[in-house]
Amino acid sequence: MLIDMNWLMPRSHFPPEDEKGRLLSYDKYNLLYEGRHEAVWGDLWDLADIEDNIDVVSTFFARIYNGKKLPMNWFKVVTSVYSDMVVGEPPRLMNPVGQTELDGIVNRSDLSVVLYNACNNFIQFGNAILKVRFVGTGSEPGSIIENVDPSIWFPVVNPDNVNEYSCHVLAWKFKEMVGSSVASLLRTEVHTAGAIDNHLYWMNGDEIDHEVELNISSKYINVPKHIETGVPYPLVFVVSNIKKRNDVYGISDYDSIENLVKELETRIIKVSSILDIHSRPAMTGPSSMLTTDMETGEETMRINGRFFAVNKDEDKPEYITWDGKLDSSFQEMDRLVSMIYAVTDLNPAAIGDFSGGAVASGSALRRLLLRTISHCNRIRVRFDQVLKRAIKAASILDVNGRIKNATVVELSIISWQDGLPSDDLENSMIEQTRANSGLTSRSSAIMRLDGCTREEADEEMERIKREAPPPQQWAKPVPMNGQEISNASKQGGIEKAPLMPDIVSTLKDIGYFKNNSG
């Protein structure tokens, strides 16, 4: 934990000693995500107990067996599923004031991709870092929101409250030709409320030697040492997962399943090795099957065909096999998979496994994924306020940079999507029921069904009215007295149909039913 800026003083080591453990864990999480599990678990492929008996048990292994790798990349599965459900379907960002400015920030930043990568970092490393900066050149000048690698983020916190950041330092090392030699340099950005301070340090191995001017590097010739942002808070925004007590950094979701996945892969590799041995087992038989090499004196067996001649008193040749008890291994693997699902709040249906039966409707799928959806909601809650502040900061930079039509955007609501497939039939029935019962307007129903704005929904309502067929015009009834009705019925002018009570009374008065029994 960093509580001051002394770690950037000359003769200090970079990265700081207190941060090395975190950075090493980031490297481990990255290897697990990439599926390079052999680089993390060196003992996973330790099958010396089998290799020591290769000559006796089987002739199958012509190479060292730990070259066989069967990684089950549950880490990538968990990361992808939650990122898909949280931000795979981009949130709807709408604001009554400054919609043009908001759309510009979203498009320039490619915000849907930025949020997806940030969500990956949140799950993988326990921390997602967003940064806002102003780009004054190019075809689309303006502010952008970008995702930052958590390994270059070094927060300085208040020792009395670790949740309060004094400043955010982004620091990374690089090498560049300076004069006639290759220099190792350390670049830092110190983000505080309303300002950014840029520094460059000359490195001697892992030790900071001294600070140098920014223009010593060709990449930073035009970078000012101090920048006033005009934003009342730092331009670095942090989204942290659940934290340990009095800790600055969030916990990776990988921590809870690392040992389970390791045990699962161990079981799979052990079963695979047993099946490999069984695929070419050793053989036993009478000694008459062996021939002696006259030069070496070694006894070998010639297998020229499928027929082996044996005498009555000799044992027949056969393969050496044993019961590998694989059923127990498969049962343990099933239990391990169930434990991974439980720990990660995943349901098999979330990864397309509907072995328990087909899902009847969208609401049934949501009930099935209740824990998974709740987990996604916890992630959205942590991103919601941070994204609102980042968008506001970006709009302030645009106003200060005098971008055309720029205005300060303060989002009150972000419409996050659930990432689940939409059941259009079920949703239409629900909206129709609500509209018919007066619980919602038809315009709002269209907005929810089609995912459109209020203006687009109103336009759709107007089109519906124009395309609707005109109401059918019914002829007005001609008043008739009782005698006229009687005459008309005799002439076939009245069809036999249910009659209104007042008409029935009139017909009784004139004796219609006596003369016309039908």
Residue 356 is predicted with a pLDDT of 65
DSSP element (H, E) containing 245:
none
Per-domain boundaries in the chain: 1-288+323-421
Query: What letter does residue 84 receive in the DSSP assignment?
Result: I
Min mean pLDDT across 199-203, 404-408, 464-468, 470-474 is at 470-474
- What mean pLDDT do residues 186-215 have? 94
Residue 197 gets the label, from left (phi > 0), alpha (psi -120 to 50) or beta, of: beta
Helices first, then strands: H and E counts in the chain: 16, 13
Q: Could you say which DSSP state residue 415 is in?
A: B
Per-residue pLDDT, 391? 96
For residue 364, the model assigns a pLDDT of 79
pLDDT value for 62: 38
Residues 6+ apart with CB under 8 A from 425: none
Q: What is the DSSP string of 196-231?
A: EEEEEEEEETTEEEEEE-GGGSGGGTT--SEEE---
- According to DSSP, the β-strands at 283-284 and 207-212 are unpaired
Task: For residues 37 and 68, give the distance between their C-alpha atoms in angstroms, rounded to a whole number.
Answer: 12
d(CA 483, CA 485): 5
Residue 398 has pLDDT above 80, yes or no: yes
Strands 153-158 and 161-178 come out as antiparallel
pLDDT band per the 50, 70, 90 thresholds, residue 109: very high
Q: Which of 8-17, 58-67, 187-196, 262-271 has the lowest mean pLDDT?
A: 58-67
Q: With DSSP H G I counted as helix, E B as strand and the rest as coil, what are the percentages for the chain, rounded to 5? A: 45, 20, 40
Higher pLDDT, 485 or 167: 167
Q: What is the Cα–Cα distance from 403 to 101, expressed in whole angstroms?
A: 9
Strands 207-212 and 226-228: unpaired
Q: What is the pLDDT of residue 359?
A: 65
pLDDT digits (tens, 9 = 90+) for 117-127: 999 999 999 99
The pLDDT tens digits of the residues spanning 150-172 come to 999 999 999 989 889 999 999 99
Q: Rounded to whole angstroms, how far apart are CA atoms 129 and 146?
A: 9
**CB 423 within 8 Å of CB 362:** yes
Distances (CA, A) of 299 to 271, 287, 290, 302, 371: 33, 10, 6, 10, 65
In this prediction, residue 57 has a pLDDT band, given cuts at 50, 70 and 90, of very low
Cα 265 from chain centre: 23
| % the chain with pLDDT above 90 | 44
Q: What is the pTM of this model?
A: 0.77
Question: In the numeric block, which tokens belong to residue 395?
Answer: 């709009």
Overall average pLDDT of the 352-380 stretch: 80
513 Cβ neighbours under 8 A, 6+ residues apart: 507
In Å, how far are 96, 147, 372, 383, 417 from 349, measured between CA atoms? 38, 30, 10, 25, 18
How confident is residue 395, by pLDDT bands cut at 50, 70 and 90? very high
Q: Mean pLDDT in the chain?
A: 82
Q: What is the pLDDT of residues 450-475, one digit of tens each?
A: 878 788 888 888 888 888 777 666 65
Tens digits of residue pLDDT in 486-500? 666 555 555 554 555
- In 3-state terms, what secondary structure has residue 134? strand
Please report, for residues 79, 109, 189, 340, the alpha-carbon distance to residue 351 in angstroms, rounded to integers and kept in the order given.
12, 30, 41, 13
Alpha-carbon distance 419 to 416, whole Å? 9
Handedness of CA 441, 442, 445, 450 (dihedral sign): negative
Please check the confidence at residue 342 and state whether its pLDDT lies above 50.
Answer: yes
Q: Quick one: tokens of 515? A: 């003369």
Contact 207, 15 (CB under 8 A): no
Token output for 179: 């004069």
Q: Is the pLDDT of residue 36 over 80?
A: yes
Contact 243, 232 (CB under 8 A): no
Helix (H) or strand (E) holding 400: helix 370-400
Q: Using the predicted structure, report yes or no on whether residue 510 has a pLDDT greater than 80.
A: no
Residue 481 to residue 407: CA distance in whole angstroms: 75
Q: Check if the beta carbon of residue 200 is closer than 8 Å to that of residue 220.
A: yes
What's the one-letter identity of residue 381? V
Q: Which of 168, 151, 211 is nearest to 9 (CA)?
A: 211
Taking a C-beta distance cutoff of 8 angstroms, is the pair 343, 256 a contact?
A: yes
Q: Which residue carries 């050496």 as its tokens?
A: 320
d(CA 154, CA 249): 10
Asked whether 486 and 512 are in contact (CB, 8 A), the reply is: yes
